[in-house]
């Protein structure tokens, strides 16, 4: 009996020491983890607010994560069922969908998914690189006196492929408009559209200034909603994403884009066009859920 008693005591001591060792190891690991990712002030905030390290880890893959906004991120995730990235974007960019309220400079300017809308603008002297005259390509475009149409080279190269495919199926496509300078948009907004924000962007806030936006229609319909009833529009809706284009202002998305439905306004966004198309998203929605803004 005495031997069994000693054996039990030894076993309990070993177990207790193991627990102590494990807990000390966890404390050291937590300390090391915090020191590797946060400064002294941030660590103090984590301890003061009793934030669990495991709850922080999923956020650390994002550069714009701010530990001092942690509780706001968590609140947004629970309230709106956001992902970790979406919660960061929502809290860090409260005016993302608040048109013309505290506007910021355009996002992702040097990419095909540059965001220019009623919240994000381009400087008046911004001119995109690699602008090319549409007439240098074998595509149909409207001819206006003393006016040339330009688009970025990568846009025209993809549009040429799309135009060829459509033409092969007997579908008519014509380019009506492409790049617009800040000054040209200023004239259109002030004098042609009477400063009507529902149908025309303010100068600097038009994505036509990026060189990635293109107005497409047919001569019979022009830039009107009648284009929606055409075979050409149907073909574009079924195929344009294959060439990197999206319908920029679709039906029932005014609260996201800031504009009513425009069947003629297409936008080159590159490879992300397929996901935008398949999930019925706007460019704003895609960026909000997939990239840090």
Name the helix (H) or strand (E) containing 91.
Answer: helix 84-92
Helix, coil or strand: residue 3? helix
Phi, psi of 218 (to 5 degrees): -125, 155
Please report which helix (H) or strand (E) contains residue 41, including its range. helix 40-48
Interior CA angle at 252 toward 248 and 255, to 5°?
A: 80
Distance CA 132, CA 159 (A): 13
The one-character DSSP state at 144 is B
Element (H, E) at 29: helix 2-37
Q: Please confirm, yes or no, whether 262 is among the known catalytic residues.
A: yes
Neighbours of 102 (CB within 10 A): 8
What does the angle CA 61 – CA 74 – CA 89 come to, to the nearest 5 degrees?
Answer: 55
DSSP for 251-269 reads TT-HHHHSS--EEEEEEE-
Among the options 207, 221, 262, 284, which is catalytic? 262
Catalytic machinery residues? 262
């Amino acid at each position: 009996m005495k031997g069994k008693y000693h054996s039990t005591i030894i076993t309990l001591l070993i177990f207790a020491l193991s627990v102590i060792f494990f807990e000390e190891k966890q404390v050291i690991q937590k300390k090391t983890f915090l020191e590797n990712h946060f400064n002294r002030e941030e660590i103090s905030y984590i301890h003061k607010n009793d934030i669990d390290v495991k709850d922080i880890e999923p956020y650390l893959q994002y550069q714009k994560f701010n530990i001092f906004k942690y509780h706001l991120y968590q609140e947004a995730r629970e309230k709106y069922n956001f992902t970790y990235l979406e919660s960061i974007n929502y809290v860090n960019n409260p005016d993302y969908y608040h048109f013309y309220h505290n506007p910021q400079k355009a996002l992702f300017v040097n990419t095909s998914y540059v965001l220019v809308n009623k919240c994000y603008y381009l400087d008046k002297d911004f001119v995109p690189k690699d602008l090319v005259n549409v007439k240098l390509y074998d595509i149909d475009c409207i001819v206006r006196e003393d006016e040339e149409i330009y688009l970025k080279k990568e846009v025209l190269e993809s549009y040429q492929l799309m135009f060829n495919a459509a033409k092969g199926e007997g579908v008519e496509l014509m380019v009506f408009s492409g790049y617009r300078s800040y000054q040209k948009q200023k004239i259109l907004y002030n004098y042609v559209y009477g400063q009507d924000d529902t149908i025309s962007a303010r100068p600097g806030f038009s994505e036509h200034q990026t060189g990635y936006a293109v107005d497409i229609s047919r001569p019979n319909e022009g830039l009107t909603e009648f284009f929606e009833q055409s075979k050409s529009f149907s073909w574009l809706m079924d195929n344009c994403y294959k060439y990197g284009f999206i319908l920029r202002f679709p039906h029932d998305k005014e609260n996201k884009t800031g504009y009513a439905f425009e069947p003629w306004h297409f936008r080159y966004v590159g490879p992300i066009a397929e996901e935008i198309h398949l999930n019925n998203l706007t460019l704003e929605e895609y960026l909000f859920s997939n990239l840090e803004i």
